[in-house]
Amino acid sequence: RRILWAPERTSTNDTAIELAHDGAVHGLVVTAARQTGGRGRQGRVWQSPAGGMWFSVLVRNPCALSQAGDLTLLASVAVHRALHESGVEAEIKWPNDILVDGRKICGILAQMRADGETVDYAVIGIGINANFHREALPPDVFDHATTILTECGQPVDRPLLLARILNQLDALYSNLAQGAGGFAAVREEWKTHAHTLGRTVHVRLGDTFITGYAEDVDERGVLLVRDHAGVRHELHSGEVLF
């Protein structure tokens, strides 16, 4: 497996996308000790100090475009499993934030290039707040964030955790290759650990806010929220505030 390490990159997702354009093979992993331009979902900045785990995985021809949501759920299940193996008990917040004690410990930014209905490749960027104290993050961030060091009182073996995540990703992709049916079991696992389902959530969708009851995640990875008027909303992206 090719793993490219560097002391610093702008964003491992950017490097992985460039290399994908240049023909890099399926499974390539791009890591960096620090990111100077780490990116989060919805155009946000992702703080990426030394001590964290910042990496991106290139996946070629992962699935049909209609299953893009499943692909991101899959990544969060892989991280959840690997954290469990490393003794860190976490929850998943839709679509793919990983929380410990209600605070975010890992974020995932999947970027895809599609050609018609087929996803040509996906870059799955995973950021784990690992071996630094949460106070190292800016105050507006650390209110809602935590780190493995803060939660466990000791650093995690990062190469081992990375290997576990990659193994779980590999194992889970075979489910996706079998289509929506094969993915059903992974979605059930996602639901078992979901912090979001069965509660009232506030969701931001662009400039609109919706409040409702998070009923389910369907076979496309779409969050189904019923508002107080009984109207069901399908959320493909957007953000669950709480």
Among 62, 95, 125, 238, binds ligand BTN (CB under 6 A): 125
Query: Looking at beta carbons only, is 17 or 172 nearer to ligand BTN?
Result: 17
Phi, psi (rounded to 5 degrees) for 127 = -120, 120
Among 58, 73, 109, 203, binds ligand BTN (CB under 6 A): 109
Torsion of CA 44, 46, 47, 48, to 10 degrees: -160
1-35: buried (b, 16+ CB within 10 Å) or exposed (e) per residue? eeebeeeebebbbbbbbebbeeebeebbbbbbbeb
**Spatial distance between the Cα atoms of 94 and 122, rounded to a whole number of angstroms:** 19
Q: Taking phi first (over 0 means left), then psi (-120 to 50 degrees means alpha), and beta for anything else, what does residue 27 get?
A: left
Interaction with ligand BTN in 46-75: which residues (CB under 6 A)? 46, 48, 54-56
Closest C-alpha to 34, from 2, 58, 12, 13: 12
The reply on whether position 146 binds ligand BTN by CB under 6 A is no
In the complex, what is the shortest distance from the CB of residue 23 to ligand BTN, in angstroms, rounded to a whole number?
Answer: 21
The reply on whether position 127 binds ligand BTN by CB under 6 A is yes
The residue sitting closest to ligand BTN, measured at its beta carbon, is: 107
Q: Which stretch binds ligand BTN (CB under 6 A): 65-73, 81-89, 123-131, 220-228?
A: 123-131
Residues binding ligand BTN (CB under 6 A): 11-13, 35, 38-41, 44, 46, 48, 54-56, 97, 107-109, 125-127
